[in-house]
Amino acid sequence: MTGLRYVYAICRPFSTPLQSQLTGVAGAPPKQLPHGDLVAIVSNVPEEDFSEEALRAHLEDLDWLSATARAHQSVIDALTVVTSPLPLRLATVFRDDSGVRMMMQEREEQFLQTLDRLEGRVEWGVKVYVENAGADAEEEQPEDSDKPLSGRDYLRRRRKQRTAHEDRWVHAEEFSRRLHGTLSEYAEDHRVHAPQNAALSGVSGANVLNAAYLVPRSESEAFVELVDRTKDDAPGIRVELTGPWAAYSFSGEPVGVPEGEGE
């Protein structure tokens, strides 16, 4: 079986060993591939699954993509414990070690500058949702619910429901602006991503804010406490905090599945 080199991340050299039982994509253990002042974290993967043609076919296989993404992320998470990695996009593959080293040599200056900026820092994600309030549909129900509504009463109720929904959305937007302003002042950098589509994410509520914040690892506890303090001040609004992650949003690297990377 011919093997290819799957690259998870670029790092500065580090001495702390990764977990001995850690496995990555296709069940292979990751290893360090040094080149100058850089280290690539790589593992061997089968060509029949990771060639350019095979990857195009796998794009239609959501189970395969999900399993690959989980394995990729497990390696990135393990690296984040021991260093500040620069994560590469999912399914970054090269023919052999020489191809990986050539890539590091060609992009050495860019990688070193980015690693300097990310050193000792992690990414925290903050999402704000307007809760799906069933109260809109039930609001102002008359005591005798069996009594049919007149056209005028029906229209009045619909206007009240629309007004309540609009008020809730305006409140959530104002809350999100204040929260983002506070967190942006605390963090070293931030990125605001497009709101998540509820139909695709499967998460309840409408996503108002979807942001990432670059925070020194030493300041993470205070950042978490800052977010937590806001939750009690937001009735009808849900604040979700995720992390700490490797600094994907600040790496300058694209996210997604490439077409024939390094082939």
Q: List, for residues 9-49, the tens digit of each pLDDT value.
A: 999 999 898 888 999 999 999 999 999 999 999 999 999 99
- Mark which of 85, 119, 153 sits at the end of a domain: 119
Q: How far apart are CA 258 and CA 243, in angstroms?
A: 25
DSSP state of 191: E
Residue 255 is assigned to a structural domain of this protein? no
Number of domain units in the chain: 2
Residue 259 is assigned to a structural domain of this protein? no
Say if residue 87 is in the same domain as residue 179.
no
Say if residue 137 is in the same domain as residue 241.
yes
Cα torsion 96, 73, 79, 117 to 10°: value is 90
The string of pLDDT tens digits covering residues 80-107 is 999 999 999 999 999 999 999 999 999 9
Structural domain boundaries enclosing 32: 3-119
Q: Is 103 exposed, middle or buried (0-12, 13-18, 19+ CB in 10 A)?
A: buried
Strand partners, 45: 4
Residue 55 has pLDDT above 80, yes or no: yes
Q: What is the pLDDT of residue 204?
A: 83
Average pLDDT, the chain: 86
- Amino acid sitting at position 79: L
Cα torsion 137, 139, 143, 148 to 10°: value is -40
- Mark which of 119, 144, 179 sits at the end of a domain: 119
Say if residue 69 is in the same domain as residue 160.
no
Residue 71 is assigned to a structural domain of this protein? yes
The string of pLDDT tens digits covering residues 127-146 is 999 986 444 444 444 445 55
What's the pLDDT band for 168 if we cut at 50, 70, 90?
Answer: confident
Cα torsion 34, 35, 37, 41 to 10°: value is -40
Residue 254 is assigned to a structural domain of this protein? no
Q: What is the pLDDT of residue 157?
A: 62
The string of pLDDT tens digits covering residues 185-207 is 999 999 999 998 877 677 888 89
Asked if 132 contacts 124 with a C-beta cutoff of 8 angstroms, the reply is no
Say if residue 240 is in the same domain as residue 146.
yes
Q: What is the pLDDT of residue 86?
A: 97
Q: What are the backbone angles phi and psi of residue 28, rounded to the nearest 5°? A: -90, 140
Max CA pair span of the chain: 80
Say if residue 156 is in the same domain as residue 102.
no
Strand partners, 86: 10
Alpha helices in 187-238 (DSSP H): 198-201, 220-231
Q: How far apart are CA 51 and CA 45, in angstroms?
A: 10
DSSP state of 205: S
Residue that the structure tokens 């076919």 belong to:
57
Q: What is the pLDDT of residue 138?
A: 46
Q: How far apart are CA 79 and CA 16, in angstroms?
A: 10
HSE-up of 46 (CA within 13 Å, CB side)?
7
Say if residue 97 is in the same domain as residue 164.
no
Nearest of 79, 85, 94, 87 to residue 19 by alpha carbon: 79
Say if residue 127 is in the same domain as residue 114.
no
Q: What is the pLDDT of residue 134?
A: 46
What's the pLDDT band for 60 if we cut at 50, 70, 90?
Answer: confident
Say if residue 115 is in the same domain as residue 127.
no
The domain that contains 221 carries what CATH number? 3.30.70
